[in-house]
Amino acid sequence: MAFDVGLIVESAPALAKGLAGTIGICLVSLPAGFFAGILLALVRMRGGVVASVLVGAYVELFRNIPFLIQVFLLFFVLPAFGPRLSPLTAAFVALSAYASAYSSEIFRAALLSIPKGQTEAGYALGLRYPVILRKILLPQALGFILPTSTNLAITLIKESAVLSTITVPELTYAAQNIVGRTFSPVEIFTAIALIYWALTASLSALTRSLEVRLQPHLRAGITDTDNKTEQIREDIR
């Protein structure tokens, strides 16, 4: 059986439309998930015992149930108990919730990796926690957060293919429609495999470039923070 490149060229507009759908869904869901993850991490660390337990239960729930099952529960089971969501709304909610659970642990681990003495030194200077977080903790945590968040983003881009099961107009759904019409799965699925690879490889290259650009800043930020911390400790003594 010959590999028909012409079929891929003919299907390019439909695949491009599906790719735009995948990118659009991810551009909305991933930032929302990361922002929610930051809030969840802070609540779990500083919100008291009850809040910590609730957030921990949320994180474990979404991390331990396969994403496909989460999508099915949201789209097929939720209407039995409440409102029926459109496929696109269900996609945004499912992907954002999934991202928030994993990013919460990324941010929490990054903040816990920083010695407590630096937070205490900030309090000794009369700084409030939001200022300590922005000026002292996050600059140091960035070196940990960036590569792990990139891995999460790549995972979520690939997981977005699951959304085709609820007729979300993204890349895999577009490919399935083409295969149903042409009965040529080899060419079409090879094409979308290469498209997913190009998309995730481009994201990896972008973040690697960003890491290289930020390395001098990160090293300088850590050194400056360490120096300030030592100076604060000397002043306290």
pLDDT tens digits in sequence order for the chain, 237 residues long: 678 899 999 999 999 999 999 999 999 999 999 999 999 999 999 888 999 999 999 999 999 999 999 999 999 999 998 889 999 999 999 999 999 999 999 999 999 888 888 888 888 888 898 888 888 888 888 878 888 999 999 999 999 999 999 999 999 999 999 999 999 999 999 999 999 999 999 999 998 888 777 766 555 544 454 554 444 445 444
- Which residues, including other chains, have CB under 8 Å from residue 62's CB and lie 6 or more apart? 70, 97, 98, 100, 101, 102
Domains, the chain, with CATH or none: 5-236 (1.10.3720.10)
pLDDT for the residue 228: 47
pLDDT for the residue 88: 94
C-alpha span between 118 and 226 (Å, rounded): 8
pLDDT for the residue 215: 66
Q: Within a 13 Å sphere around the CA of 13, how many CA atoms are in the beta-carbon half? A: 1
pLDDT for the residue 116: 86
C-alpha span between 149 and 144 (Å, rounded): 9
